[in-house]
Structure 1
Amino acid sequence: MTTGTTTATSPWFVRPPSAAPAARLFCLPFSGSGASAFSAWPAAIDGVEVCPVQFPGRENRLAHPHYGTYEDLADNLAEALAPLLDRPYALFAHCAGAIPAYETVLRLAARGLPGPRCLYVSGQPAPHDAARDRMLTLTEPELRAELEAFVRGRGIEPRPDMIDLGMSVLLRDHAAAGAYRRSEPDRVDCPLVVLHWRDDTDVSAEDLEGWRRYADRVEFRVVDGGHYAFMDAPGELLGALTSWR
């Protein structure tokens, strides 16, 4: 198992977490992306420090070996987070990032470490339904077209070298998503908030219903915007992410 570190130079965070914030919000990106998915987010929300997590094998960690499986990713992330759990915290994860976030919470509990005050999952079916993800049915050319459309949707004209690099990350993340299997829910000990994006054409509100089995307290919220609207840090979302305080 690769050892995670949480010193000021930890590769798991694009900026060193503060020494003594009131609370922390750890943010996990979606397949094919990295911590830059949160580049438009503020450094803090209502006194809660925003801590974007950087998975290995992308962006400033491109030279690091890919995490391989969601299970290995969760093992290593739990280790990296452990020294930072000395104050209240929550996790937010979008799309496929919600799966390793959930698995990480289970591993923190198994290690006897403090659990989050809340787990927020956004635009992602429950773990036992993850294999139904539309993206898993796409061929490599179709995935490339999806990536190009996403980049254009962010107002950037995709260059071939940019798309080639993005595909190298996306295909490995895609393989991890395709290999993940969970047949039965294992409940987390914290409240679970499931976010549905009103204009999401990929994931419907019904697709999210499976999360009801994953915690004793499950809340569903609808927020305005499409599947990737979270990247623009809409106020409605940011307000929801501090409701656990």
Structure 2
Amino acid sequence: MTSGSTTATSPWFVRPPSTGHPARLFCFPFSGSGASAFSAWPAAIDGVEVCPVQFPGRENRMAEPHYGTYEDLAAGLVPPLMPLLDRPFAFFGHCAGALPAFETVVLLAERGLPQPDCLLVSGQPAPHHASGDPMLTMGESELRVELESFLRGRGIEPRSDMIDMGMALLLRDHAAAGRYRRAEPVVVSCPIVVLHWRDDPDVSLDQLEGWRQYSDAVDIRVVDGGRYDFMHAPDGLRKSLTSWR
């Protein structure tokens, strides 16, 4: 196969996927964010191409309608994803981004399409426990404080217009998270790697145990750092991102 990039770029991906890597890692952002959450990640990690997924209703897709539900998000993603499943691939989802990543795995299986070689979930309890996420109990004022704290933690002094724009997206994503319900576990055929951030104050190691009901091969790992340190792809995370190859 020749090196280079495919000619067409879907709005679901921020750059044309390359044909020069033997495997792909599709990355799902967390609530209130977009593909730029992975902008500090290298384009490839140990031969695995990093493919951030861009959800509608944010960043360069701001003018598009919000996806509404994780199930609808998966349904919209699968058609443009299909041509890119021509080589080994994995999904990575951070926090609430792990849930549409999981729903995409389920939908691929239902349609008889290729399955990922691994589903990597980071800092997110299992789908049947998702409704217990403490963030879902936050009101608008609390979410605003959370957003301001997040931006300051990234070295950005938030302006009011920046916060207003971020809140508009966060509230829509928050509503989608609140609508998500999966009453019982669904077993998928791929292995699942569950990452716990050692300094995450909101998600404990015990809360991640529920993922063991979703695959016959579940590996729960502890990574040094806090909830948002994934954005810099630290060494401990990188090892897990490519361990399925």
| Normalised TM-score (structure 2) | 0.96
Q: Which position in structure 2 is the counterpart of 1:225?
A: 225
Q: Distance between the aligned counterparts of 2:208 and 2:217, measured in 1?
A: 15
C-alpha distance in 1 between matches for 2:66 and 2:7:
21
Q: Which runs of 5+ in 2 are unaligned?
A: 1-5
* Residue aligning to 1:15: 15
> What is the aligned partner in structure 1 of residue 3 from structure 2?
none
**Counterpart amino acid of 1:46?**
D
- Which residue of structure 2 aligns with residue 28 of structure 1? 28
Give deviations 1:190-220, integer Å, cap 9, x for gaps: 0000000000011110111110100010000
Distance 2:7 2:118 in 1: 25
Distance 1:8 1:230 in 2: 29
Corresponding residue SS for 1:199: coil
* Separation in 2, partners of 1:20, 1:182: 38
CA offset digits 1:106-131 (Å, max 9, x no partner) = 10111111100000000000000000
CA distance in 2, matches of 1:192, 1:185: 13
Number of residue pairs matched by the alignment: 240
Q: Please list, as runs of the form range in 1=range in 2, the aligned pairs for 1:1-245 lying within 5 A after superposition.
A: 8-245=8-245
SS of equivalent to 1:181: coil
Question: What CA distance in whole angstroms lies between the structure 1 residues aligned with 2:35 and 2:202?
Answer: 22
| 1:50 Cα offset (Å) | 0.3
Letter in 1 for 2:49: E
State percent identity of aligned pairs: 75
Partner of 1:3: none
AA at the equivalent of 2:213? R
**Deviation sequence 1:162-216 (CA, Å, 0-9, x none):** 0000001000000000001011011111000000000001111011111010001
Q: Which amino acid aligns with 1:137?
A: T
Match of 1:9, SS state, is coil
Provide the rounded CA distance (Å) in 2 between the counterparts of 1:80 and 1:166. Answer: 27
Over aligned residues, Cα RMSD in angstroms? 1.0
3-state SS of paired residue (2:201): coil
Counterpart of 2:149 in structure 1: which amino acid? A
Deviation at 1:239, TM superposition (A): 1.4
Q: Alpha-carbon deviation of 1:21?
A: 2.1
List per-residue Cα deviations over 1:110-156 (Å, max 9, x = no partner).
Answer: 11111000000000000000001111000101100100010001010
Shift of 1:232: 1.1
What's the TM-score, normalizing by structure 1? Answer: 0.96
Alpha-carbon distance between aligned partners in 1 of 2:62 and 2:7, rounded to the nearest angstrom: 20
